[in-house]
């Protein structure tokens, strides 16, 4: 057995034995109905840990959102107190009043989706009050009325509404907040005849005060990056794209908006391995900058030319170009963030060894949306690629996805006709540049309201994206914060679109050290596949699900494992993990694809589907690496936080 596989065995055994190895230290309380999942709490801002329940001798003043395990609970002086400690297998350090912490069952949290085109979320004091509201068949009529009255400061009497979502998009990187899921359940909605989820959540902004000086009338700079296929067949389209940019510069060069528009350009081809003369897979020809010089840009893109040799196969490594575009440093300086992706081919994705990013189309799209970057795709349906058009179109629609209930900004050019392509690029670029306006003049206007009513139509796609980005930029500049709610109930869905609209995105809160450890554990699981999937595929499945379960429930366990332990045994000696897995997964409000697969499903699964599970593990590792390396967006919860202690709420789709 290899050293890595031996370490993985030790890792799994430690996980399985955690509930029964408390001979030295006290055990924390377990969550109701479980034998292995401990009770935990997150400290609120300004919380203090004291030496005894009801006492006033302060032991420590934890930074906000410090995670503690709960070892005991007591009622003293009419208040509930929790005996807490930072380590599952360590001793408690003191007592925290229950009001100074928030019970946290797992690592899942919620963040608000962009509020463009939907009603803001209402928060209710009691579960029954929310149920009465969302199950009422008059919900489509009641919701706008309840929102308007609550926004005016007079929620309907007896409604139980305690707060409302901020009108602007809350940028959690700039104004960090947590919405931990305390409870979740499915409810039947009479208005739609379908089921959806409601949550009990806690709202915890990091700061009580807005941390920036609000800008009530900020400019709205727009950045557009062309990511262009530069393989052998693309020269006419490259030339026509350059012409589009020249036209725009001619129109705006002397205008008042010229200093609020910037362009970048990236060319992509395919893997250069074994292909002489292809030169690059992806290359940045013109950076996106705030001090944009049109003349310099035009000189830079003169070098943007089609390859002189052919690449291998029909698909190209377009995701490499998109990822280079997403990773440009200067997006933070722009409100409108757009990538225009132009190709006549499909995209290389895992398990294709020539897919350099190692990620799926959906994962690259998720990173872009997480950074508020919209991808607009154009597919040149040339005659040579007829057999591949269906797959290519499906991929590009996935790449440009923005929201379930909105049209996707994806365009096709029949027959690859240059005379059709040119006007399409002209119109897209022109409409994006026209979004450079003063926010106060347009955001929330009747034009915006009409546009969002038609977001399901292709003709409105660019306008709707612009509105969403203006709300995000305005919320950031005005310091929009999450509502200060202690505990409340809210629906997952948008009140005016219970079927397709989403008010929240589900995420898992990890720090950089935990992401690094999860990356390593998934790598070990992948390595184990080669030795186990043929010999004992069921055991490999247990290995993989254990890693995912720990990330979703208690990732601190990953950090507690010591790779230097001198323990030797075979994987066959590991105890049955079935009961443990049931506890880990049963109480989670959301599950990834792998979490939903049962052992029976796995045993019946053909080899090709098992291989897809392995592909999802590899691509998840590539995605985790991207998030880990994005140092700008990791959030320090206190001034002295080390890099490894910084946190980020990763989209749940990070996990396979």
Q: Is the pLDDT of residue 423 over 90?
A: yes
Q: Is the pLDDT of residue 269 over 60?
A: yes
Across 420-428, average pLDDT: 94
Each residue of 319-353: pLDDT tens digit?
A: 999 999 999 999 999 999 999 999 999 999 999 98
Burial of 610 (0-12, 13-18, 19+ CB in 10 A): middle
If one looks up domain 38-103 in CATH, what number appears? 2.30.30
pLDDT of res. 13: 44
Q: Average pLDDT of the chain?
A: 82
Q: Is the pLDDT of residue 563 over 80?
A: no
Each residue of 113-156: pLDDT tens digit?
A: 998 888 999 999 999 999 999 888 888 899 999 999 999 999 99
Each residue of 228-262: pLDDT tens digit?
A: 999 988 999 999 999 998 888 888 877 778 888 99
Q: Where are the domains of the chain?
A: 38-103, 114-212+480-502, 222-437, 511-654
CB 171 within 8 A of CB 475: yes
User: Whole-angstrom Cα distance, residue 327 to residue 128?
Assistant: 45
| Nearest CA-CA partner of 448 in 167, 256, 175 | 167
Q: CA 580, 584, 586, 591 torsion: positive or negative?
A: negative
Which option is the CATH number for 222-437: 3.40.50.300, 3.40.50.970, 3.30.56.10, 3.40.50.410?
A: 3.40.50.410
Each residue of 462-508: pLDDT tens digit?
A: 989 998 998 888 888 887 888 876 789 999 999 988 887 889 999 98
Each residue of 441-456: pLDDT tens digit?
A: 555 555 555 556 788 8
R_g over Cα of the chain: 26
Q: Is the pLDDT of residue 561 over 70?
A: no
Across 639-645, average pLDDT: 80
Q: Is the pLDDT of residue 571 over 60?
A: no
pLDDT-based confidence at residue 552 (cuts at 50, 70, 90): low
Q: Is the pLDDT of residue 20 over 70?
A: no
Beta-carbon contacts of 197 under 8 Å, excluding residues fewer than 6 positions away, are 184, 185, 186, 187, 491, 492, 493, 589
Beta-carbon contacts of 436 under 8 Å, excluding residues fewer than 6 positions away, are 219, 220, 221, 222, 257, 260, 261, 336
pLDDT of res. 135: 86
- Minimum mean pLDDT among 79-88, 399-408, 537-546: which range? 537-546
Phi, psi of 574 (to 5 degrees): -65, 145
Each residue of 151-181: pLDDT tens digit?
A: 999 999 999 999 999 888 888 888 888 888 8
| Beta strand pairing call for 94-97 and 101-103 | unpaired
What global pTM score does this model have?
0.85
pLDDT more than 90, % of the chain: 38
CB 227 within 8 A of CB 341: yes
- Minimum mean pLDDT among 16-25, 216-225, 585-594: which range? 16-25
pLDDT-based confidence at residue 81 (cuts at 50, 70, 90): very high
Across 187-194, average pLDDT: 78
Beta-carbon contacts of 118 under 8 Å, excluding residues fewer than 6 positions away, are 494, 495, 496, 497, 501, 503
For 529-572, what is the HEC assignment?
Answer: HHHHCCCCHHHHHHHHHHHHHHHHHCCHHHHHCCCCCCCCCCHH
pLDDT of res. 535: 67
Q: Is the pLDDT of residue 556 over 70?
A: no
pLDDT-based confidence at residue 97 (cuts at 50, 70, 90): very high
Across 24-39, average pLDDT: 81
pLDDT of res. 326: 97
């Amino acid at each position: 057995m290899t050293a890595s596989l031996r370490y993985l065995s030790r890792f799994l055994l430690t996980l399985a034995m955690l509930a029964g190895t408390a001979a030295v230290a006290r055990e924390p309380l377990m969550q109701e109905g479980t034998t292995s999942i401990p009770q935990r709490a997150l400290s609120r801002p300004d919380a203090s840990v004291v030496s005894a329940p009801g006492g006033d001798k302060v032991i420590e003043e934890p930074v906000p959102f410090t995670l503690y395990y709960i070892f005991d609970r007591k009622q003293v002086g009419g208040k509930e107190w929790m005996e807490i400690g930072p380590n599952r297998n360590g001793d408690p350090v003191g007592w925290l009043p229950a009001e100074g912490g928030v019970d946290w069952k797992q690592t899942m949290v919620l963040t608000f989706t962009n509020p463009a085109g939907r009603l803001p979320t209402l928060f209710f004091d009691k579960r029954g009050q929310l149920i009465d509201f969302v199950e009422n068949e008059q919900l489509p009529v009641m919701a706008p009325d309840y929102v308007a009255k609550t926004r005016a400061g007079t929620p309907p009497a007896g409604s139980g509404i305690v707060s409302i979502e901020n009108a602007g998009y809350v940028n959690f990187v700039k104004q960090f907040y947590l919405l931990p899921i305390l409870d979740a359940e499915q409810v039947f909605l009479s208005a739609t005849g379908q089921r959806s989820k409601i949550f009990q959540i806690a709202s915890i902004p990091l700061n009580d005060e807005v941390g920036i000086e609000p800008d009530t009338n900020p400019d709205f700079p727009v950045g557009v990056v062309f990511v262009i296929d530069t393989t052998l067949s693309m020269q006419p389209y490259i030339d026509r794209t350059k012409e589009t940019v020249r036209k725009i510069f001619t129109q705006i060069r002397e205008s008042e908006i010229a200093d609020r528009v910037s362009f970048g350009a990236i060319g992509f081809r395919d893997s250069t391995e074994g292909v002489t003369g292809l030169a690059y897979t992806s290359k940045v020809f013109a950076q996106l900058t705030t001090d944009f010089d049109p003349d310099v840009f035009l000189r830079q893109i003169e070098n943007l030319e089609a390859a002189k040799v052919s690449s291998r196969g029909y698909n190209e490594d377009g995701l490499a170009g998109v990822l280079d575009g997403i990773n440009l440093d200067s997006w933070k300086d722009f409100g409108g963030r757009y990538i225009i992706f132009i190709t006549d081919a499909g995209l290389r994705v895992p398990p294709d060894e020539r897919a350099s990013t190692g990620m799926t189309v959906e994962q690259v799209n998720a990173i872009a949306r997480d950074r508020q970057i919209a991808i607009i795709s154009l597919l040149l349906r040339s005659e040579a690629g007829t057999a591949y058009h269906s797959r290519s179109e499906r991929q590009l629609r996935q790449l440009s996805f923005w929201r379930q209930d909105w049209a996707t900004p994806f365009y096709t050019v029949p027959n690859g006709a240059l005379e059709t392509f040119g006007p399409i690029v002209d119109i897209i670029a022109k409409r994006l540049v026209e979004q450079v306006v003063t926010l106060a003049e347009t955001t929330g206007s009747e034009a915006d309201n009409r546009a969002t009513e038609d977001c399901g139509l292709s003709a409105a796609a660019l306008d709707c994206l612009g509105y969403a980005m203006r709300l995000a930029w305005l919320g950031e500049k005005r310091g929009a914060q999450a509502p200060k709610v202690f505990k409340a109930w809210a629906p997952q869905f948008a009140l005016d679109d219970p079927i397709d609209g989403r008010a929240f995105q589900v995420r898992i809160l990890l720090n950089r050290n935990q992401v690094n450890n999860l990356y390593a554990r998934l790598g070990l699981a992948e390595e184990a596949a080669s030795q186990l999937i043929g010999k004992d595929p069921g055991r490999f499945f247990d290995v993989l699900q254990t890693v995912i379960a720990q990330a979703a429930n208690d990732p601190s366990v990953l950090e507690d494992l010591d790779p230097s332990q001198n323990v030797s045994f075979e994987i066959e000696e590991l105890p049955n993990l079935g009961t443990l897995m049931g506890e880990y997964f049963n109480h989670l409000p959301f599950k990834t694809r792998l979490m939903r697969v049962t052992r029976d499903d796995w045993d019946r699964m053909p080899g090709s589907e098992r291989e897809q599970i392995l592909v999802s593990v590899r691509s998840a590792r590539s995605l985790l690496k991207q998030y880990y390396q994005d140092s700008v967006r990791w959030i320090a919860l206190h001034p002295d936080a080390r890099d490894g202690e910084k946190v980020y709420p990763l989209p749940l789709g990070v996990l396979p």
